[in-house]
Structure 1
């Protein structure tokens, strides 16, 4: 089916045409926050409300910086023409998660919190990501999140007459799988912080792989800033990755020493 006339999705308001992307982006934040507060009611949080607010502030500031930095590095050839407007308009969720992680860790050191704090954010983040990616998908090729040309059966015309990998649609499917995974282990006893670590490792693993389906710009060694961000996350969580691998492949060895 020719879908060139479908992308980007827009709506009319007071005689002006607007992208649905901005609506989804706003909804993702609002609904994600509401999901967080809904889930928070059902748990006994070892971190005080005041410290939670400081941690969220650290996450937001880190995400603000990280999302812009990693996005700018996605197009290294444009660094010579960098402007405030370009910096303001550029953002990527990988950079947001990357920067948010280290913003939280820095803030926790400042306020003296040494308890893992990320597990409660996993489902709200998944919810916000899914809604936000609906907006990205609705943009077609008007936003640089589309894929390269393909003969794959899921290839779609995203607005330029070419069959491309609908990368954002792939991500939405992956996010649903992650949601089902974390729902299935909701009552499983895990070390505090392991759910968030698992989310970060799996999400960045997906982003590392799917980046090869996009027309990316290499930053170094033919890898993009998204690739390097993922590799850094794998290195940061290497102890967790090894422990999870041992749990999966050598459970008896762990049980019996």
Structure 2
């Protein structure tokens, strides 16, 4: 199979990344509905709907904003503006969705943690979306730097690059298994599973960014890496509490 993978159906070129992106949203939501149906949810249906709406709005704003910050000094031509409007990143979506949920909960007066039910659907959605990123090769800015290691792959430009999307797929499988084990074996407070997911995923993305050809840095860090640091700071109380408990 050649990458970028661009299947032709009935004479039309199919954007495989876009197809898998929409499929990721659909399957992840159906998985969420299944999990909620087979679990005890202390949050009412109306409040849960408000939380989902807050998450969606926050994710939409966050994904676009962080996507823009990845290259804030781009020339503001008409073509570039259209590209920027379509630029988005899952990292901004996750953190923006988190803030959107917290604002929605504060507005409706909901005090229970709501994130645990979203963890595995989010993981599944990211996994499906990353397959699309990998199949899109250099047409999606998720590819890695050039490398002479055995992991190098031709992602469409004739150069051997780190297949960072493929690395992430393997990580997501391991994280899914680890969180399932943690959910069954560990004694977790409501909301802890989501916090572990966020810290683990943002930690991975902080590291993998060093393998990507980013063009904008602040203090030697990309915009995504700075967001990762902000996420860790956001959960600093949780981190310190777990370190204290471990001691």
TM-score where L is the length of structure 2: 0.95
**Aligned equivalents of 1:185 and 1:208: distance in 2?**
23
Equivalent residue runs for 1:32-47 within 5 Å: 32-47=28-43
**Aligned equivalents of 2:217 and 2:112: distance in 1?**
35
Which residue of structure 1 lines up, in the alignment, with residue 121 of structure 2?
124
Whether 1:16 and 2:7 are equivalent positions in the alignment is: no
Find the residue that maps to 1:97 and give its secondary structure.
helix
TM-score where L is the length of structure 1: 0.91
Q: 1:27 aligns with which of 23, 30, 39?
A: 23
Q: 2:93 aligns with which of 53, 77, 96?
A: 96
Find the residue that maps to 2:34 and give its secondary structure.
helix
Find the residue that maps to 1:124 and give its secondary structure.
helix
Equivalent residue runs for 1:218-257 within 5 Å: 218-248=216-246, 250=247
* Structure 2 gap ranges (5+): none
Is residue 76–residue 217 contact of structure 1 (8 Å, CA) maintained in 2?
no
**Aligned equivalents of 1:104 and 1:208: distance in 2?**
23
Which residue of structure 2 lines up, in the alignment, with residue 254 of structure 1?
none
**Aligned equivalents of 1:89 and 1:193: distance in 2?**
32
Is residue 150–residue 163 contact of structure 1 (8 Å, CA) maintained in 2?
yes
Q: Deviations over 1:209-233 (max 9, x none)?
A: 1001000122421211101110100
Equivalent residue runs for 1:74-153 within 5 Å: 74-78=70-74, 80-81=76-77, 85-153=82-150
Is residue 183–residue 193 contact of structure 2 (8 Å, CA) maintained in 1?
no
Moved more, 49-58 or 181-190: 181-190
Find the residue that maps to 1:32 and give its secondary structure.
helix
Q: After TM superposition, which residue ranges in structure 1, 4 or more long, deviate above 6 angstroms?
A: none
